[in-house]
Amino acid sequence: MSDKLHIPRITKDVLKKYKFHLTKGLGQNFLIDGDVIDNICNAAEINKDDNVLEIGPGIGTLTQHLCEKAKKVVSIEIDRQLEAIHHETLPYNNLTLIYDDFMKVDLIKLFNDHFLKEKVKVVANIPYYITTPIVMRLLEERLPLNSITVMVQKEVANRFSSLPGSKDYGSITVVIRYFADTKLAFIVPSIVFIPQPKVDSAVIVMKLHEHPPVQLDDENLFFKLVKGAFGQRRKTLVNSVSGTVPEIKKDELLAIITKLGFNPAIRGEKLSIHDFALIANELNRLSESAQRL
């Protein structure tokens, strides 16, 4: 490995040598702890057969370890100022650097060109200002992914991995659960970054399902129901959904949840993904039979 960037003095020297000014708006908090980086690679179970996609290499601290451990790494960085630094810190034959905004990259093309349709693991210390858009884009584009192992704010990690009934449980938890099993791997204190963020972080591992955990007759209706259920969190499921999703009729939803044996005053936060799927499929059956009449 070229000079080990996880040693704080080396990171500081690199930043000084290149007169690099950190951009707060891009979430530039660089890791300076070798153990945390090893733990990230272990949580992602990276080995020499693996293709890895990294989002936001920064000066290349995690990237160095990924290149040492994986078969191939593609890393997308928005900040072109880092290119000169990468020439020094990332001399790896198995690495492709792409300077672009992750949210704008054509991911299907990138996967076809670089990973030849093989499965990929995402491993990244992602910028916190776009955590959810990044994760949702990775999931919704239905890319050939094995897993997503990312550092996020601790409170976001709790939201992504919580269970029904907990205060952190919300529509994003259910939507993510549809695509992957998510576990909080470990907590990361703010002192392992330069500069230190205001909040603690956590690494989560999302293992993508081969098949979704529930059978849905209409995915869009399911997603609308789930979002609507948490749209007005303090209200009952029926009131929250009918207040936020006009196409779902209040009396029909009430009739369906009663028929399925739920308490008519139940709130969305008490329902599992299986409960939401049951209700969404019943709503779909009802609208299909209404269309046939």
Contact call for residues 22 and 32 (beta carbons, < 8 A): no
- Asked if 265 is part of the footprint of ligand SAM (rule: CB under 6 A), the reply reads no
Contact call for residues 172 and 160 (beta carbons, < 8 A): yes
Asked if residue 195 has a cis previous peptide bond (ω within 30° of 0), the answer is yes
Footprint of ligand SAM on 101-160 (CB under 6 A):
101-103, 125, 127, 130
Footprint of ligand SAM on 67-86 (CB under 6 A):
76-79
- Asked if 182 is part of the footprint of ligand SAM (rule: CB under 6 A), the reply reads no
- Asked if 268 is part of the footprint of ligand SAM (rule: CB under 6 A), the reply reads no
Min dist CB 27 to ligand SAM, Å, is 5
**Residue whose tokens read 């949580």:** 43
Min dist CB 119 to ligand SAM, Å, is 22
Of 251, 38, 27, nearest to 129 (Cα)?
27
- Compare residues 195 and 243 and give the one whose CB is closer to ligand SAM: 195
- Selected from 36, 41, 52, 62, the binder of ligand SAM by CB under 6 A is 62
Min dist CB 135 to ligand SAM, Å, is 13
What distances in angstroms separate CA 225 from CA 14, 68, 219, 260, 279, one per listed residue? 50, 45, 10, 16, 9
- Asked if 50 is part of the footprint of ligand SAM (rule: CB under 6 A), the reply reads no
Instruction: Indicate the burial class of 268 (C-beta count within 10 angstroms; 0-12, 13-18, 19 or more).
Output: buried
**Residue whose tokens read 């659960």:** 177
Amino acid at 243: G
Residue 69: both structure tokens together: 């451990």
- Asked if 27 is part of the footprint of ligand SAM (rule: CB under 6 A), the reply reads yes
Min dist CB 100 to ligand SAM, Å, is 7
Judged by the rule CB under 6 A, the positions of this chain that interact with ligand SAM are 26-31, 55-58, 61-62, 76-79, 101-103, 125, 127, 130
